[in-house]
Structure 1
């Protein structure tokens, strides 16, 4: 009988349960008639080792013999083939990181810089939606400007803001990959910009009602519904839609509304809350809204949760207005600039904007609450039909 190559492909498939030698230490171990595994028995450093070479029949007889030959060559070279295989896997993992792995690691490293530790997922979503489906399984070292161009071309002119976020996040991932020691082209994203060309998309500001016309609109919000009350408070406070729609009774103490830092756009430091002074007109709106409260929310929707921004927008749309709820922040800011002498820092703080650099903010301990209260009282006087200039 031959010492090696004892088995044949057809013969191996016909064998029942048992252990069958092909020769030179290669064995077919059949656990049942239709499946089994290949095993190589070899002596390494004076010790008998068994090395799995894969399942049968997924790994053919010819492939099992090739794997066995490679392993025997390592033994002859004084190496342990099992440890060498593990080392090669680790080396391959280090040298062939996929973009999706690098992106996930980059996101984890940056979470501390993001609002709410990135729990909302907004930082990662441009990558997840527009980059990783096409490039995620590519080794990061292989990605070049043409790959990036082809990936973002479908949205470059139609979703310009999203495309900018996606290419910016990708640039950070490439820098992260370089920091991990991978050979990447750090200029690939800029080269891709050159290939994509200047975006044709024109950014349009959200339409705003001129501040002179706000009193007329405010006066029309008289039916006491959740939508009317929400719009009134939105106008009176100058806050964004989201914190207002999710306003809870517990956030109000006396004549101050404290918005949690995680609900404030652009505020990454969760210890920095934002206080909104509530003037008498705003307190009256809140008192009326409490009659509609549900689960602690002052502005609940008809079915569940809270009122949506779209609900307020649709009211204005049905009236044939171009302006939208978010635009009332611009109305307030224009009024501050044109009808008052409010200092720039106070006016910007009224809108919840971060003013000054990190060092300046560290030394400035005030949030101008009293100055903002006085200005909001004047603003309330204006929107309720008074001059607002006293």
Structure 2
């Protein structure tokens, strides 16, 4: 490969360099000095690798002497002879330093910005990033990512590993995303250190607590206590009747209602924010009655608005249950419905799952084609649930 460099070498002396005119001047073996019209000059190493002509800056003439330029060019030349791209290698070497671009905090924010579009609400609520921001970055954020090992990660997560297992699991998941992003940016990292950190932290014996839920037999009595004229309580009534998640209820809009069906857009269907999948909810007589009651309070198209006319606060229904000492949480009513379907109706598993919006199989290839929400089969079941809840069964 030696013929890729010019045969002559050390063509100039220091004195000769000073008198060279504007233009490009070869010292030999790929080392060039580019003198600009403004009087400045730049050392360049020119090389050819894998059929491509490349140029690598070695610094300004003012800051890099002829001897130093020749030394840098020789190091780069040896790399080329070994078929190593000196430009890429220099970039990798710089990543080993404490530069801001290579620190975990900087890369975490970059990864978050790239990941935002795939998150619900475009990541605007900051919930995806908060585990990193609260539990990882304060301890590891200033470290170059290439220097973070399994022990660093284990020490950072140890305080919450057993006390807050759900949050700790989210930290691990977010770190994987950041490390994968860093790897794509050609930082020398591997998610293996995250796996090893989990091994160091050990088996997490503390199980996550399921959402509190009323037994399905107790739901009608609670439903009967809810108001006909208060947005939060009307929202709870709709939540109980439909079995959907709180986010769908909070953001329920008049424009989503199509006679006897409520069309929930992908943005408010868990796991479908980045698809064109919509979830259709059949509406019974009781559903429609609640909707009519709620229309009196509608603002800016929201059926259950907050005090400023936006979507209902995500904590509103939960706070109502807590303030009134109800041993349940909004998400728990999905469990009440799901259990009723199995205990009382002996509903098919797949249809029961579809009733509460669990329409994924876990197989991406299958989910890409399986779009049915079993609306014809769900419609009579949801009407029967509404009748049970209201005491009309």
Query: What's the TM-score, normalizing by structure 2?
Result: 0.72
Q: Does 242-251 or 96-105 show the bigger shift? A: 96-105
| Deviation of 1:322 (Å) | 1.3
1:234–1:194 distance in 2 versus 1, CA, 3 Å: same
2-structure distance, mates of 1:359, 1:91: 37
Q: Secondary structure at the match of 1:257?
A: strand
The question of whether the paired residues in 1 share the 8 Å contact of 2:299 and 2:309 is answered with no
Whether 1:336 aligns to 2:329 is: no
The equivalent of 2:162 in structure 1 is 157
Superposed CA RMSD in Å reads 3.6
Runs of 4+ in 1 over 6 A off after TM superposition: 67-70
**Matched-pair contact (CA < 8 Å) for 2:212–2:328:** yes
**1:271 correspondence with 2:276:** yes
2:212 maps to 1:207: yes
For the Cα contact (< 8 Å) 1:277–1:372, is it kept in 2? yes
Alignment CA distance shift 1:311-1:175 (3 Å): closer
Asked if residue 232 in structure 1 is aligned to residue 225 in structure 2, the reply is no
Counting matched residue pairs gives 332
2:311 counterpart residue number: 306
Residue 226 of structure 1 deviates from its aligned partner by 1.5
Alpha-carbon deviation of 1:113? 5.5
**After the TM superposition, which residues 27-176 of structure 1 pair with which residues of structure 2 at under 5 Å, given as runs?**
45=25, 47=35, 49-50=39-40, 71-74=64-67, 77=70, 93=94, 96=97, 97-104=102-109, 106-107=111-112, 114-115=119-120, 121-176=126-181
Q: d(CA) in 1 for partners of 2:264 and 2:180?
A: 35
Residue ranges of structure 1 left out of the alignment (5+ in a row):
1-23, 26-40, 53-66, 81-86
| CA-to-aligned-CA distance 1:165-219 (integer Å, 9 cap, x gap) | 1122223433444455443354211221233233354311111000001111111
The change in CA–CA distance for 1:381 and 1:75 in structure 2 (over 3 A counts) is closer
1:380 and 2:349 matched? no
What is the CA-CA distance between 1:119 and the residue it aligns to?
A: 5.6
- Structure 1 residues 196, 368: CA separation in 2 closer, same or farther (over 3 Å shift)? same
Q: CA deviation at 1:317?
A: 2.7
> In structure 2, do the counterparts of structure 1 residues 202 and 76 end up closer, same or farther at CA, with 3 Å as the change threshold?
closer
- Of 296, 299, 316, the residue aligned with 1:294 is 299
Rg larger for: 1
CA contact (8 A) 2:40 2:61 kept: no
Deviates more, 1:42-51 or 1:305-314: 42-51
- Maintained 8 Å contact 1:116/1:270: no
Aligned with residue 360 of structure 1, among 361, 366, 369:
366
Cross-structure match for 2:256: 251
Mapped to 2, the partners of 1:225 and 1:95 lie a distance apart of 59
Give the TM-score taking structure 1 as reference length: 0.73
Shift of 1:90: 5.3
SS at match of 1:276: strand
| SS, match of residue 292 in structure 1 | coil
Q: What runs of 5+ residues in structure 2 fail to find an aligned partner?
A: 1-13, 26-32, 43-59, 74-86
SS across alignment from 2:277: coil
2:246–2:330 CA contact under 8 A, matched in 1: yes
Partner of 1:350: 355
Residue 221 of structure 1 and its aligned partner are, at CA, apart by: 1.4
Indicate the SS of the match to 2:281: strand
CA distance in 2 between partners of 1:297 and 1:76 (Å): 68
For 1:197 and 1:103, how far apart are their aligned partners in 2?
Answer: 25
Q: For residue 339 of structure 1, report the CA deviation from its aligned partner.
A: 0.6
Q: Residue 117 of structure 1: CA displacement? A: 5.9
Q: Give the conservation status (yes or no) of the 8 Å contact 1:115–1:270.
A: no
